[in-house]
């Protein structure tokens, strides 16, 4: 959630577009509920793009190979500790055009998903040890984010010129400096 809001405030066109999508879809309903989420294609693209650039667990969870195997000419001995760098995969120029750029549009009209079948986007891992909480995690994020965008306008705090994207050290990618934004209730 922190990284989505960070990227949106740094990309005001995307913020405006996703906010308009939520407000147009919901009109005067008052709050977003689970069964409204299917209407929010751009919001889903914003979340995918955030997970591509800032995967929550950048090296996933370490795995151990059960047997010796050869992968693309590399031998991986039995019982090797294997780390998969989802961060690097998400920014690999062989997989992504302008990989460093935040561009949710790349997921509109694209079948690429984080469910583990598209190996260029693996914030939840893949295969039988992939994240079992993916649907729950995504739905929680979609619901919270869409309600924050529906109910409030977002601005930088007074005296803040820009937001940094420094990461704290650790297995899970936290933002090093807290994100400080001002939420305003829209006039109408």
Contact residues for ligand HEM, defined by CB under 6 A: 56-57, 60-61, 123-125, 129-133, 136-137, 141
Identify the residue whose tokens are 């729950």.
136
Give 90 or 123: the residue with its C-beta nearer to ligand HEM: 123
Give 172 or 178: the residue with its C-beta nearer to ligand HEM: 172
- Inter-helix orientation angle 2-10/41-53, to 10°: 100
Give 27 or 82: the residue with its C-beta nearer to ligand HEM: 82
Q: What are the backbone dihedrals phi and psi of residue 8, each rounded to the nearest 5 degrees, phi first?
A: -70, -40
**Which helix H or strand E contains 17, and what residues bound it?**
helix 12-26
Shortest Cβ 116–ligand HEM spacing (Å): 8
Shortest Cβ 78–ligand HEM spacing (Å): 19
Give 141 or 156: the residue with its C-beta nearer to ligand HEM: 141
Shortest Cβ 120–ligand HEM spacing (Å): 15
Give 95 or 141: the residue with its C-beta nearer to ligand HEM: 141
Locate the DSSP E strands across the chain. Answer: 63-64, 69-71, 74-76, 81-82, 153-156, 181-184
Shortest Cβ 130–ligand HEM spacing (Å): 5
CB 111 within 8 A of CB 148: no
Shortest Cβ 51–ligand HEM spacing (Å): 7
CA dist 16 → 19, 21, 83 (Å) = 5, 9, 38
Tell me the CB-side half-sphere exposure of residue 61, using CA atoms within 13 A: 9
């Amino acid at each position: 959630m922190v990284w989505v809001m960070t990227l949106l405030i740094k990309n005001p066109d995307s913020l405006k577009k996703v906010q308009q999508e939520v407000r147009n879809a919901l009109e005067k309903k008052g709050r977003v509920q689970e069964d409204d989420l299917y209407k929010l294609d751009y919001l889903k693209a914003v979340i995918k793009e955030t997970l591509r650039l800032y995967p929550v667990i950048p090296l996933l969870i370490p795995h151990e190979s059960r047997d010796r195997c050869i992968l693309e000419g590399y031998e991986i001995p039995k019982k090797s500790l294997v780390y998969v760098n989802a961060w690097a995969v998400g920014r690999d120029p062989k997989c992504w055009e302008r990989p460093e750029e935040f561009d949710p549009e790349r997921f509109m009209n694209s079948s690429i998903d984080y469910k583990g079948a598209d190996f260029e986007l693996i914030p939840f891992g893949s295969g039988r040890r992939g994240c079992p909480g993916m649907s729950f995690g995504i739905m929680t994020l979609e619901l919270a984010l869409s309600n924050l965008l529906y109910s409030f306008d977002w601005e930088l705090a007074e005296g803040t010129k820009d937001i940094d994207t420094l990461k704290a050290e650790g297995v899970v990618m936290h933002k090093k400096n807290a994100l400080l934004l001002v939420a305003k209730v829209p006039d109408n």
